[in-house]
């Protein structure tokens, strides 16, 4: 790879481009082969890589826990069962800590959210060139393996949580109660428009912050991986600087990857905790 800025930009763009399926400019349906083509598809297009990876990881999660329950024993748990029990205990404690209402769905929801987000984030730790190169060899133009760097995925989940928040708000408080919560506070009934504005922003901010926090963190992390990878690639050459950069690329990406173990777990945990907290707020009559 040469040191031309054009190529570096291409490299970054290539890594940040989803594999998009939609209507091509010539009217047929297919996979976009460039960012411009993908953009031209408009709203009615699918990011196949996000789709495939998130489904795959969800399936892995389900398969793992399912196989743990198949060989379940009431005795001392070992191996996978031990791990799953540990994880469930951890999630259960989190739910008990922040959810005060009574809803049997919250625990499984939190478990699923945590492990799904966690496994999606975990894909970030794979070397960024591996899968795209492999896919390139197979003739697939783009492949982003971290679904949580795609805002479609994070907003998808956040909207799912938001719908649950709306559903439980109405279910627990009734339509009147929910509307009252939005319009009658904090300033009483004479400040209704102001109340609605404040509470509306408050409500809408929930899914947006949920989605953008995860997306932002993972996207930035991915971006830094790309930039570190560029460092070695862009300056590859048998000069002293080239060798130093090449070596520091290894060390930097190693350091970033190690640091990322924390981010990956933390972001999954935050997403889960916020999901629980938002649903807890939806379950509270007065706040």
Partner 1 sequence: MNINATLLAQTVMFALFVWFCMKFVWPPIMAALEQRRKQIADGLADAERAKHDLELAAKRSAEILREAKEKAGEIVNNGEKRASEIVEEAKAQAKIEGDRIITGAKAEIDQEVFRAKEQLRTQVSAIALAGAGKILGREIDAKAHNDLLDKLVAEI
Catalytic annotation, residues: 209, 213, 217
Q: Least CB distance from residue 242 to partner 1, whole Å?
A: 10
Report the residue number, 6 or 286, with the smaller CB distance to partner 1: 6
Q: Least CB distance from residue 139 to partner 1, whole Å?
A: 12
Q: How many CA atoms lie within 13 A of 57 on its CB side?
A: 23
Report the residue number, 27 or 262, with the smaller CB distance to partner 1: 262
Report the residue number, 129 or 199, with the smaller CB distance to partner 1: 129
Write out the binding residues for partner 1, residues 124-153 only, by CB under 8 A.
125-130, 132-133, 136
Cβ neighbours, 10 Å, residue 236: 16
Per DSSP, 31 falls in state: E
Per DSSP, 76 falls in state: S
Write out the binding residues for partner 1, residues 7-66 only, by CB under 8 A.
11, 14
Q: What sign does the CA torsion over 10, 11, 17, 20 have?
A: positive
Q: Least CB distance from residue 228 to partner 1, whole Å?
A: 9
Q: Least CB distance from residue 267 to partner 1, whole Å?
A: 17
Q: Least CB distance from residue 249 to partner 1, whole Å?
A: 5
- Tokens standing for 260? 């990322």
φ, ψ of residue 235 in degrees (nearest 5):
-110, 15
- DSSP reduced 3-state for 1: coil
Report the residue number, 12 or 172, with the smaller CB distance to partner 1: 12
Report the residue number, 80 or 170, with the smaller CB distance to partner 1: 80
Q: Least CB distance from residue 96 to partner 1, whole Å?
A: 18
- Measured CA to CA, the distance from residue 203 to residue 178 in angstroms comes to 11
Write out the binding residues for partner 1, residues 73-102 only, by CB under 8 A.
75-78, 82-83, 85-86
3-state DSSP helix/strand/coil % of the chain, to nearest 5:
75, 5, 20
Cβ neighbours, 10 Å, residue 38: 22
Spatial CA neighbour of 110 closest among 281, 277, 264, 284: 277
- Does residue 105 bind partner 1 (CB under 8 A)? no
Write out the binding residues for partner 1, residues 226-265 only, by CB under 8 A.
229, 232-233, 236, 246, 249-250, 253-254, 257-258, 261
- Which residue pairs from 248-252 have beta carbons closer than 8 angstroms and sit at least 24 positions apart in sequence? 252/228
Cβ neighbours, 10 Å, residue 216: 15
Report the residue number, 99 or 143, with the smaller CB distance to partner 1: 143
Q: What is the C-alpha end-to-end distance of the chain, expressed in Å?
A: 58
- Measured CA to CA, the distance from residue 102 to residue 283 in angstroms comes to 8
Q: Which residues bind partner 1 (CB under 8 A)?
A: 1, 11, 14, 75-78, 82-83, 85-86, 125-130, 132-133, 136, 229, 232-233, 236, 246, 249-250, 253-254, 257-258, 261
């Amino acid at each position: 790879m040469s040191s031309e800025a054009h190529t570096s930009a291409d490299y970054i763009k290539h890594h940040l481009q989803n594999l998009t399926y939609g209507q091509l400019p010539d009217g047929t349906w297919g996979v976009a082969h460039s960012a411009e083509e993908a953009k031209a598809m408009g709203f009615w297009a699918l990011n196949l890589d996000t789709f495939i990876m998130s489904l795959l990881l969800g399936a892995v999660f389900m398969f793992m826990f399912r196989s743990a329950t198949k060989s379940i024993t009431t005795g001392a748990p070992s191996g996978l069962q031990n791990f799953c029990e540990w994880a469930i205990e951890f999630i259960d404690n989190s739910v008990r800590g922040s959810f005060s209402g009574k809803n049997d769905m919250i625990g499984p929801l939190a478990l699923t959210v945590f492990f799904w987000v966690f496994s999606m984030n975990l894909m970030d730790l794979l070397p960024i060139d591996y899968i795209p190169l492999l896919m390139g060899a197979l003739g697939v133009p783009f492949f982003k393996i971290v679904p949580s760097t795609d805002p479609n995925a994070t907003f998808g989940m956040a909207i799912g949580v938001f719908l649950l928040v709306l559903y439980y708000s109405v279910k627990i408080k009734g339509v009147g109660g929910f509307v009252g919560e939005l319009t009658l506070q904090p300033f009483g009934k004479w400040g209704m428009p102001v109340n609605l504005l404040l509470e509306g922003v408050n409500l809408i901010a929930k899914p947006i912050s949920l989605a953008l926090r995860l997306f932002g963190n993972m996207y930035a992390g991915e971006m830094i991986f790309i930039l570190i990878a560029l460092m070695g690639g862009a300056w590859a050459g048998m000069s002293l600087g080239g060798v130093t950069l090449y070596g520091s690329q290894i060390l930097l990406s190693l350091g970033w990857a190690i640091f990322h173990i924390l981010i990956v777990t933390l972001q999954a945990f935050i997403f889960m905790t916020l999901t629980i907290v938002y649903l807890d707020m939806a379950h509270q009559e007065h706040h």
